[in-house]
Structure formats: structure tokens, C-alpha cells
Amino acid sequence: MSNTTSTQIPIEWIPSSHFDERPDENDVSLLVIHNISLPPGQFGSGDIVRFFQGDLDSRVHPFYKEIEGVRVSAHCLIERTGKVLQFVQFKHRAWHAGKSSFQGRNCCNDFSIGIEMEGTDDHIFTDAQYASLINITKQIMKDYPAVTLGRIVGHSDIAPGRKTDPGRHFDWCRFRTGLVEK
């Protein structure tokens, strides 16, 4: 279990070096939901972990040549099974949002937590993923009260035209309803 949040959710800690200090570690006020699969459209390869750690072998898949040398991370990844992996402590700035803006404020990495759902724009997410996402989001909202329902967005919301995730199959209604249920 990670020591980065007071949650009782089992989290596997797999540190990434792809992070830095936030300008203000007390300024966490946004949660960004993403999706990722490596290779594209495939699940369970372990390559997302390797990518976030800078250990992705570009010879394994043709797409990996396109992302060779890219340094990105997310705070957490929720695998198809619902397992949660954490790469960056919430108090630090993960490199997940890229060029982004929310309510007139640029550089969303500075003030956001990024959670990746293993998936694609065109696949339905699993029940286990929603359960884990709801549980970890509730804990984030408790630990970071500035993260409210209105400050939980998709990557597509902060980088429109550049990003489309978490995609058309992400069930925002199910997710938000789960957040308000006791």
C-alpha cells in the first residue's frame, strides 16, 4: 500500500522518475481522468508500467518508435482488473496532462492529479475499474477538498482538439453517481 494517501484501497507502489515538485504542493484542485493502452488497443502487456518508468523497448511494437524517449507518467493507473498502481505521490507533479488549460489556468499538471484507466476511447471500462476509480476518487476528494465534482474532468476537457480520452465509452454518469452514493 502506498503511503501517499490515507486510503485503505490496496495500491501497489511502482515509483517513476517522471515527475517533479509542484509549484505549490498544497494547490491540488483538479482530477484528470485518462485512458491508455500499450500497444494501442491491447491490455495486460505490462508496457504501460515500462512506459511510465522510461523502460519501454521500442523494438517490441512499431508504435513504440513514435513514443520513444517520451517522458510521461500519471499518479495512478487502474488496470482492467481494478488493480491500482501508483507511480507518483499526489503531492508531486506527474507529467500526464501536457499542454492543457482548465478555467483559464494553464499547465494543469501543476495543480492536478492524473489517473489513467487501462483502456481506449472505443472500449467499455470494467466494473472493477469503476469500483476502484470511485473509491480512490472519494479518498482524493477527502484528502484534497479543493477537488470537487465540478473539478473532475477528462483529458479531452483540458486539451480539446488534442486529446479525446477517457473516450466516448467512459460512463461519467455511473462514475459521478458512485461518488455521491454512501
Catalytic positions, please? 116
C-alpha cell at 154: 477528462
54: left (phi over 0), alpha (psi -120 to 50) or beta: left
CA angle 22, 72, 87 (to 5 degrees): 70
Q: What angle do CA 9, 10, 11 make, to 5 degrees?
A: 105
- Rounded CA gap, 162 and 181, in Å? 33
- Residue 18 φ/ψ, nearest 5 degrees: -90, 70
